[in-house]
Structure 1
Amino acid sequence: MDQVQFIERPELRDPILLLAFTGWGDASEVATWSAKYMVKEWDAPKLAEIDPEEFFVFTDTRPQSKWVNDQRTILWPATEFYYHKMPDQAHDFIVGIGTEPNLRWKAFLAAMMSVIRETKTTAVITLGGLLAAVPHTHPARLTGTATEPDLAEKLHSLTPRQGRYEGPTGIVGVLNTVLQAEDVPYASLWGNVPHYLAATPNIKVALGMLRQLNRGLSLGLSLSRVERQAVRFETQVNEAVADNSEITTYVRKLEAEHGLPGPEDPPAPIMPREELPSSDVLLADLENYLRRQRTDGDPEDNGPKDPHV
């Protein structure tokens, strides 16, 4: 299709596509942060990209101006695909990182499906982040569904069935419906983000997502750097929470509701967005505190960058 440009056409063995989009279904950037980390860790070459011209209102989703190698570069809203070969595994991997389009979703999904068909992708795993009434002090919660029992088993604790969610959806939800119609096996993995931290990149939840993917799919990723970042992130959040009695009380309430989690506990129940307590006051102190921490200049706290920058 004209919207898809292939940069390389490598021979891939039964590839699995790991896919994340910024926007509505990427609370705290846990999905796209995880996908970018994989691309950076693998030093994955670019496979293909979808031309953004027909799918975005650039006054709403604006291109970004950045300096790269002492030159001004314009970064357009992108949907890009990278690949990584795993000679010792049954599957190679493709990582897709995109921006949820503003326009022509059906045409965009047709372009997505052309990439899936062209690469002979055997399964798709969509990644996302959602707001949940869960405490940041508990291990990261991951929920989701899979159409095939083997996918559910690989990703641990997923439900081997279609999801039963009803309501507004994003591009990931629509894509999953298209995959089902095309008989493409898929799974959907969602990081549960404490809603009162939703405005900050949540490294702890991203780490939980990366660990589950790494273990279940044998990705061979080194996560030591992310683990250090997650420890610092949680320490900073705990310090900010300790300084605010209202937040502390609310976190203790969430802890009591969810109990002490264990490795085999079922996923935490997710409250609809409209039922979540207002987070305006909770976020203000945490945002200010974490913003100050991010300006301290620790290079390991920067996280993965856009692979093409």
Structure 2
Amino acid sequence: MTTSSPLFRLETDAARQPQPAPLLMVALDGFIDAGQVRSTLAEHLLEHLDHEVVASFVADELVDYRSRRPLMTFDSDHYADYDDPSLVLYRVQDAAGEPFLLLHGFEPDFRWEGFIEAVRQLGLYFGVRRVVSAHGIPMAVPHTRPVGMTRFASDRELLGEHTPVFGQVKIPSSAESLLHLRLAEAGLTTLGVAVHVPHYLAEAQFGDAIVAAADAVMDLTGLVLPTAELIAMAGLTRAQIETELAQNHDAREVVESLEQRYDHFVEGMKKRSLLAAEAAKLPNAEEIGAELEKFLRDPGVAGPAPQEGTVVDEPSDDDTDPQA
């Protein structure tokens, strides 16, 4: 691999002696992130975990400035500051001291394939074997019910017991989702969660969804992440929502309608699961065929034995085959 690229710059220490980190967490701002799940989780980790910058991507190669219009500060009579876009690769230690990489910052506007190849090269350099991400998607669900999510992975067996909500659908692409596809094609294991956020909270910071995302990432990767502050924030968020709903009758009716639809859907899923369980007890075609062959060979060995106390008719003379 090469550590030289027009798209990124390695920090001196990282270039001189890279320290392995087998997991890469990706958090690219810009694409859909209902409930601010992706951004809040990434910023929370950087605030509460030890970290260092190991590489930075070159914004001039990847950003459409006229589309984004980064903010500047004009102070009275002069330009004082400029919020330049940043996309940074951090080496982070989780709460148990295990290292992982966190790629956080803007989603590239240009050169997606080149950007992904650069990420792949950096992954090789630092020994990355797995990639994970989490974000929020708006759904017609109430905030008063358990937070749902769509899990995905390059290897379905990594998801465990999981009932998909969606079938095959066409969705807008993003650099982050394309990263999952291309890195899986390159042989890495990729995993992620799309947390279901009530559509009426899509623009707000929805604490319950952020906590659910952190728990899911830990479950998928084995990382130990700090969540106490996130849990406390989620409690405050719920209280604020309830206060607002108490003052808005129309909004309360919308939530109650969503609760009814959600409960109806869950009940339907339970019934479907029961039907599937009953169907699973039925013999399949091969088992039926094998039993039929056994019966044709020896009718006496097939079928259930008579229960105790059951009267079995003895064959009469009229029933006897004259050819026997």
Q: TM-score if structure 1 supplies the norm length?
A: 0.73
Q: 8 Å contact 2:191–2:220 — kept in the other structure?
A: no
Counterpart amino acid of residue 151 in structure 2: G
- The equivalent of 1:3 in structure 2 is 7
User: 1:165-222: CA deviations, max 9, x gaps?
Assistant: 3132211221122112212110121111111111112222111111222344343333
Name the larger-Rg structure: 2
Is 1:240–2:247 an aligned residue pair?
no
Point out where structure 1 has 5 or more consecutive residues left out of the alignment.
267-309
Q: 8 Å contact 1:4–1:49 — kept in the other structure?
A: yes
Change (3 A) 1:158 1:189: farther
* Shift, 1:260, TM fit: 9.1
Is 1:101–2:105 an aligned residue pair?
no
* Shift, 1:4, TM fit: 1.0
Counterpart amino acid of residue 201 in structure 1: Q
* Shift, 1:14, TM fit: 5.1
Hey, what's the Cα distance between the residues in 2 that align with 1:124 and 1:59? 31
Hey, what's the Cα distance between the residues in 1 that align with 2:162 and 2:19? 28
- The equivalent of 1:147 in structure 2 is 154
- The equivalent of 1:183 in structure 2 is 187
Hey, what's the Cα distance between the residues in 1 that align with 2:201 and 2:186? 37
- The equivalent of 1:62 in structure 2 is 69
Secondary structure (helix, strand or coil) at the match of 1:115 reads helix
Counterpart amino acid of residue 234 in structure 1: R
Hey, what's the Cα distance between the residues in 2 that align with 1:259 and 1:190? 21
Is 1:249–2:253 an aligned residue pair?
yes
Aligned counterpart for 1:42 among listed residues 35, 43, 49? 49
* Shift, 1:148, TM fit: 2.5
* Shift, 1:158, TM fit: 7.8
Counterpart amino acid of residue 205 in structure 1: A
Aligned counterpart for 1:111 among listed residues 94, 104, 118? 118
Aligned counterpart for 1:53 among listed residues 51, 60, 64? 60
User: 1:256-295: CA deviations, max 9, x gaps?
Assistant: 1222999xx99xxxxxxxxxxxxxxxxxxxxxxxxxxxxx
Counterpart amino acid of residue 77 in structure 1: P
Secondary structure (helix, strand or coil) at the match of 1:126 reads strand
CA RMSD of aligned residues (A): 3.0
Hey, what's the Cα distance between the residues in 2 that align with 1:88 and 1:204? 24
Change (3 A) 1:11 1:186: same
* Shift, 1:73, TM fit: 4.8
Hey, what's the Cα distance between the residues in 2 that align with 1:134 and 1:227? 20
Aligned counterpart for 1:81 among listed residues 84, 89, 92? 89
Is 1:203–2:207 an aligned residue pair?
yes
* Shift, 1:16, TM fit: 0.6
Point out the structure with the larger helix share. Answer: 2
Change (3 A) 1:47 1:106: same
Secondary structure (helix, strand or coil) at the match of 2:88 reads strand
Counterpart amino acid of residue 22 in structure 1: D
Hey, what's the Cα distance between the residues in 2 that align with 1:72 and 1:119? 38
Secondary structure (helix, strand or coil) at the match of 1:179 reads helix
* Shift, 1:149, TM fit: 4.9
Aligned counterpart for 2:30 among listed residues 23, 33, 39? 23
- The equivalent of 1:194 in structure 2 is 198
Secondary structure (helix, strand or coil) at the match of 1:183 reads coil
Q: TM-score if structure 2 supplies the norm length?
A: 0.70
* Shift, 1:72, TM fit: 5.2
Point out where structure 2 has 5 or more consecutive residues left out of the alignment.
271-324
User: 1:87-137: CA deviations, max 9, x gaps?
Assistant: 968x63111112122222222222222222222210101222211111111
Q: Which moved more, 1:214-223 or 1:111-120?
A: 214-223
Secondary structure (helix, strand or coil) at the match of 2:241 reads helix
Hey, what's the Cα distance between the residues in 1 that align with 2:248 and 2:126? 51
Hey, what's the Cα distance between the residues in 2 that align with 1:117 and 1:72? 40
Hey, what's the Cα distance between the residues in 2 that align with 1:177 and 1:78? 24
Change (3 A) 1:254 1:51: same
